């Protein structure tokens, strides 16, 4: 009897050892990136384990790995299947969360799908059109939404705070504490939150790309703004006004020379660059102004100036909400950004 039991115990121990070694081998086969990740591509898939933050911009973005840091994403379709130990910041058209988030999630989107496998350990902040919620939130669900669909198997361990133009029937026992509904006829809260989150995320991504790929741009922008502010404003105004005119002239000349393909190519290229420069203008100004103010007032270096940059971004965003000065504010921001970009290009050619 003892021999029989001994054989069974030995077999079980061997089986556990085999299974354990298999798990370890599988874990070891997953590559680990021991630094922050910056990517701007059409299709991005992060299957590696990342020991750092992620800054991602693209069309289709999928995260399957374990991210030991914060994640900043701007894209069209975003899917989170892995684990994020930090906070998640997303600005996208469609977002799907299937994985586990250890901290907070901030989502600005058209449609957010939170599956039954999703676990958000702290708060979920969402502004958008539709939320399909079937997951678990450890604390509160704070949302400004048009269409709210909560599954009866979902779990909200804190409060449900939602702003909408219509009240939604919430399944019983889903919310542990209070359900707070706020009427929002025009959903202005949604618009504001969406816009602010989009600007913050875009600024963070531009900062990350500059820090990784164009570090001299950050230093040069600070110098340009501090020593050549009037020149920057003048050149920026000239570039902002003259670019569409040059684009139109080239387009007409190309047509007169019977080169329609060249005409379309030039028009598309210059128009695309012009539009991108306008879109990222707040980010460019925030990066340059943060460096200038930090040096002038001898401020502490807080994570490569990112907190100063985001603070300036929010201030600019607030100024453009004021009806009387919003047009002037955005004109100054855009032409100054054009000036900084133009002078950086000329300085690079001289080097």
- Kindly state whether residue 202 falls inside one of the protein's structural domains: no
Per-residue model confidence (pLDDT) at position 88: 92
User: How far is it, in rounded angstroms, from Cα 137 to Cα 327?
Assistant: 41
Beta strands in the chain (DSSP E): 32-33, 37-40, 43-46, 49-50, 54-63, 66-67, 71-80, 83-84, 88-97, 100-101, 105-108, 111-114, 119-120, 124-133, 136-137, 141-150, 155-156, 160-164, 179-183
Pair 165, 76: CB distance under 8 Å: no
Place of tokens 């979920």: 124
Pair 339, 232: CB distance under 8 Å: yes
- pLDDT per residue over 176-195, tens digit each? 999 999 886 554 556 777 78
- Kindly state whether residue 103 falls inside one of the protein's structural domains: yes
- Global pTM reads 0.61
Place of tokens 């804190």: 158
Q: Is the pLDDT of residue 142 over 80?
A: yes
User: How far is it, in rounded angstroms, from Cα 218 to Cα 203?
Assistant: 13
Between 235 and 255, the more confident residue is 235
Domain that holds residue 143: 37-190
User: How far is it, in rounded angstroms, from Cα 160 to Cα 123?
Assistant: 10
Pair 82, 66: CB distance under 8 Å: yes
Beta strands in 214-340 (DSSP E): none
The mean pLDDT of 55-66, rounded to a whole number, is 90
Per-residue model confidence (pLDDT) at position 322: 64
Between 103 and 13, the more confident residue is 103
186 and 242, same domain (yes or no): no
- pLDDT per residue over 191-216, tens digit each? 777 788 889 989 999 999 998 888 89
Q: Is the pLDDT of residue 6 over 50?
A: no
Between 24 and 289, the more confident residue is 289
DSSP state for residue 89 in the 8-state scheme: E
Per-residue model confidence (pLDDT) at position 3: 46
- Kindly state whether residue 25 falls inside one of the protein's structural domains: no
Q: Which of 4-13, 14-23, 116-125, 263-272 tops mean pLDDT?
A: 116-125
- Kindly state whether residue 209 falls inside one of the protein's structural domains: no
Between 19 and 268, the more confident residue is 268
Between 38 and 322, the more confident residue is 38
- Kindly state whether residue 63 falls inside one of the protein's structural domains: yes
DSSP state for residue 175 in the 8-state scheme: B
- Name the domain count of the chain: 2
145 and 255, same domain (yes or no): no
Per-residue model confidence (pLDDT) at position 82: 95
Token pair belonging to 141? 């669900």
Q: Is the pLDDT of residue 20 over 60?
A: no
Over the chain, what is the mean pLDDT? 83
Per-residue model confidence (pLDDT) at position 11: 43
185 and 257, same domain (yes or no): no
Burial class (CB in 10 A: 0-12, 13-18, 19+), 214: middle
Pair 52, 37: CB distance under 8 Å: yes
61 and 178, same domain (yes or no): yes
Exposure string for 297-309, b = 16+ CB within 10 A, e = fewer: eeeeeeeebbebb
pLDDT confidence band for 172 (50 / 70 / 90): confident
Contacts of 209 (CB under 8 A, 6+ apart): 38, 40, 55, 57
The mean pLDDT of 155-162, rounded to a whole number, is 94
């Amino acid at each position: 009897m003892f021999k029989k039991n001994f054989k069974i115990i030995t077999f079980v121990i061997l089986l556990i050892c085999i299974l354990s070694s298999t798990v370890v081998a599988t874990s070891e086969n997953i590559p680990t990136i021991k630094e922050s990740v910056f990517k701007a591509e059409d299709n991005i898939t992060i299957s590696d384990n990342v020991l750092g933050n992620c800054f991602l911009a693209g069309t289709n973005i999928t995260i399957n790995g374990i991210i030991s840091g914060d994640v900043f994403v701007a894209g069209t379709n975003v899917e989170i299947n892995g684990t994020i130990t930090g906070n998640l910041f997303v600005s996208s058209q469609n977002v799907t969360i299937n994985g586990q988030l250890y901290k907070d999630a901030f989502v600005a989107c058209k449609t957010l799908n939170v599956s039954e496998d999703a676990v958000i350990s702290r708060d979920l902040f969402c502004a958008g059109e539709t939320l399909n919620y079937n997951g678990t939130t450890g604390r509160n669900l704070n949302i400004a939404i048009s269409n709210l669909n909560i599954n009866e198997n979902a779990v909200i361990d804190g409060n449900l705070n939602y702003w909408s133009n219509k009240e939604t029937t919430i399944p019983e026992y889903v919310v542990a504490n209070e359900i707070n509904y706020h009427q929002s006829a025009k959903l202005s809260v949604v618009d504001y939150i969406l816009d602010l989150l989009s600007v913050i995320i875009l600024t963070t991504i531009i900062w990350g790309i500059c820090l990784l790929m164009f570090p001299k741009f950050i230093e040069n922008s600070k110098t340009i703004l501090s020593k050549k502010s009037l020149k920057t404003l003048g050149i920026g105004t000239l570039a902002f006004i003259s670019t569409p005119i040059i684009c139109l002239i080239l387009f007409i000349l190309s047509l007169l020379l019977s080169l329609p393909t060249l005409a379309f190519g030039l028009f598309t290229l210059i128009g695309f660059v012009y539009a991108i420069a306008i879109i990222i203008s707040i980010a460019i100004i925030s990066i340059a102004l943060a460096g200038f103010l930090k040096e002038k007032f001898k401020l502490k270096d807080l994570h490569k100036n990112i907190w100063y940059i985001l603070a300036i971004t929010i201030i600019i965003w607030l100024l453009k909400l004021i009806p009387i000065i919003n047009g002037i504010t955005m004109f100054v921001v855009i032409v100054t950004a054009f000036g900084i970009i133009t002078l950086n290009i000329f300085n690079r050619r001289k080097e």
